[in-house]
Amino acid sequence: MQRAGVGRALVCLVAAALVAAGCGTSGAGGGGRVRLTVATFGEFGYEPLFEEYERAHPEVDVVGRVTDFDTHHRGLITALATGRGAADVVAVEEQYMPRLRRSARRFADLAAFGADRLRERWPRWKWEQGVADGGRVVFALGTDMGSLAMCYRRDLFERAGLPTDRDRVAALWPTWEAYAEVADRFAERVADARFADSAGTVYTAVLNQAEENYFAKADDSFIGDTNPNVRRAFGIAGAIAAKGRTAKVTTFTPEWNVAINRGAFATVTCPAWMLAQIREAGGAAGAGRWDVTAVPGGGGNWGGSYLAVPAQGAHQREAYRLAEWLTAPEQQEELFVRSGILPSEPEVYRDPVVLGHTDPYFGGAPVGALFAASSDRVRPNHRGIRDADVRPVFGRALGRVEDGAQDVAQAWEQAVREAHDLIG
């Protein structure tokens, strides 16, 4: 999935039209230096690294361009189609990788600059999402991954008479079915808070633990209507929603932030990058109330990104060098320790510095060890070319269940019908 929020300095808030107009594209920097733009969505934590890179490469100016998730990807697709307006280095979230792999010719082949010699840095599944033409073309390098944990409110668990110790909490829910049972127990004792933030986050976590979801790995045909993994995830999340166990707040919205601040829900599945958002929304009053433990079902993944170099750029070699440096182990480790962005390179997330990292806001939880353990259990799931189109349909269906507009069966039937209409 995606990070939320928009960064700080050097932000160029643009819609697709402005991107096409060339906001922040490469060119000559001051004093004849090469200016490289890096376009990302949400918070990648790159600004201090840009400054570090400029000090080591005085011939280069680096400019960040940060927009929200949808604006970024729509703008990138438009820029690739028109052949102008793309940044020198662009971030791509994993759900867009299948679609953009079909346009790999619009990206620089990074193998020509030596990227093919970097493949041992990443797990095979992460590397293969960034290559095309049978692995002969390298069009993107992996950045982070979204291995899952469960964030929970210790104070609300205590009020519900549930264990608060993170190991005992993890033992409550070996499966998602057990998690739903704990939600029922919680509701018996706590009336002014809900167990989960939304059915959508539960659904995404369950679904992403399966190797296939909406599209078949073999031929990319739509199987969302018959795949038992999809039906199971929808059934579990739908049942939780129908019982009123969720706070009905969509992740990363202002309402979600307010709900965190007010303690309106007790659990949320959380990749490492979400901890900063919970911390920001919860404020000082939330310190020590949150904790982190293992997610039901043994691992999972919520998002993860790549860096690519559009072929339309005037400084592709220089852009590659910057992308390679940003994804190098030293910088990936720094990003985790400073910003909590979990690296996708096993050498890095198994490093003692990462493994020993704790978070005082979350009760001193050993977040480095927790997320590293979850990373080792990630099972890559196939994302179809139309995944980004179909996925929201099922999310909206669960919203109708939460609102009481439909029961689970009705919502499922409408979602399947709309998915078929979308893919034709």
Residues 270 and 394 in one domain: yes
In this predicted structure, what is the pLDDT of residue 27?
61
Residues 95 and 125 in one domain: yes
In this predicted structure, what is the pLDDT of residue 84?
95
Residues 273 and 378 in one domain: yes
21 within a domain of the structure (yes/no) = no
**What's the pLDDT tens digit per position in 57-100?**
999 999 999 999 889 999 999 999 999 999 999 999 988 898 89
Measure the CA–CA gap between 404 and 382, rounded to whole angstroms.
Answer: 32
Residues 110 and 181 in one domain: no
Residues 365 and 418 in one domain: yes
Q: What is the extent of the structural domain holding 312?
A: 34-145+304-355
Q: What is the pTM of this model?
A: 0.83
Whether the pLDDT of residue 2 is over 80: the answer is no
In this predicted structure, what is the pLDDT of residue 350?
92
364 within a domain of the structure (yes/no) = yes
Residues 207 and 150 in one domain: yes
What is the percent of the chain with per-residue pLDDT over 90, rounded to a whole number? 76
What is the percent of the chain with per-residue pLDDT over 70, rounded to a whole number? 93
| Residue 285: CB atoms within 10 Å | 10
Residues 111 and 178 in one domain: no
407 within a domain of the structure (yes/no) = yes
Question: Between 228-242 and 387-402, two packed helices, what is the crossing angle to 10 degrees?
Answer: 30
Residues 185 and 163 in one domain: yes
382 within a domain of the structure (yes/no) = yes
In this predicted structure, what is the pLDDT of residue 26?
53
24 within a domain of the structure (yes/no) = no
Whether the pLDDT of residue 31 is over 90: the answer is no
Exposed e or buried b per residue across 13-46, where buried means at least 16 C-beta atoms within 10 angstroms of its C-beta: ebebebbbeebbbbeebeeeebbbbbbbbbbbbb
Give the mean model confidence (pLDDT) for residues 413-424: 95
Residues 290 and 397 in one domain: yes
With a CB cutoff of 8 Å and minimum separation 6, the contacts of 13 are 6, 67
* CATH code of residue 116: 3.40.190.10
SS (H, E, C) the chain: CCCCCCCCCCCCCCCHHHHHCCCCCCEECHHHCEEEEEEEECCCCCHHHHHHHHHHCCCEEEEEEEECHHHHHHHHHHHHHHCCCCCCEEEEEHHHHHHHHCCHHHECCHHHHCHHHHHHHCCHHHHHCCEEHHHCEECCEEEEEEEEEEEEEHHHHHHCCCCCCHHHHHHHCCCHHHHHHHHHHHHHHCCCCEEECCHHHHHHHHHCCCCECCECCCCCCECCCCCHHHHHHHHHHHHHHHCCCECCCCCCCHHHHHHHHHCCEEEEEEEHHHHHHHHHHHCHHHCCCEEEECCCCCCCEEEEEEEECECCCCCHHHHHHHHHHHCCHHHHHHHHHHHCCCECCHHHHCCHHHHCCCEHHHCCECHHHHHHHHHHCCCCCECCCCHHHHHHHHHHHHHHHHCCCCCHHHHHHHHHHHHHHHHC
Measure the CA–CA gap between 391 and 346, rounded to whole angstroms.
Answer: 29
273 within a domain of the structure (yes/no) = yes
**What's the pLDDT tens digit per position in 320-358?**
999 999 999 999 999 998 888 889 999 999 999 999 999
> pLDDT class for 29, splitting at 50, 70, 90?
low
In this predicted structure, what is the pLDDT of residue 241?
98
The mean pLDDT value of the chain amounts to: 90
Residues 138 and 267 in one domain: no
The answer to whether 302 and 1 are in contact (CB under 8 A) is yes
Whether the pLDDT of residue 15 is over 60: the answer is no
Whether the pLDDT of residue 139 is over 50: the answer is yes
Residues 271 and 235 in one domain: yes
Residues 267 and 342 in one domain: no
- Number of domains, the chain: 2
The answer to whether 378 and 147 are in contact (CB under 8 A) is yes
* Phi, psi angle pair for 292, to nearest 5°: -135, 135
- Residue that finishes a domain, picked among 336, 355, 374: 355
Give the mean model confidence (pLDDT) for residues 23-50: 80
370 within a domain of the structure (yes/no) = yes
Give the mean model confidence (pLDDT) for residues 384-411: 94
191 within a domain of the structure (yes/no) = yes
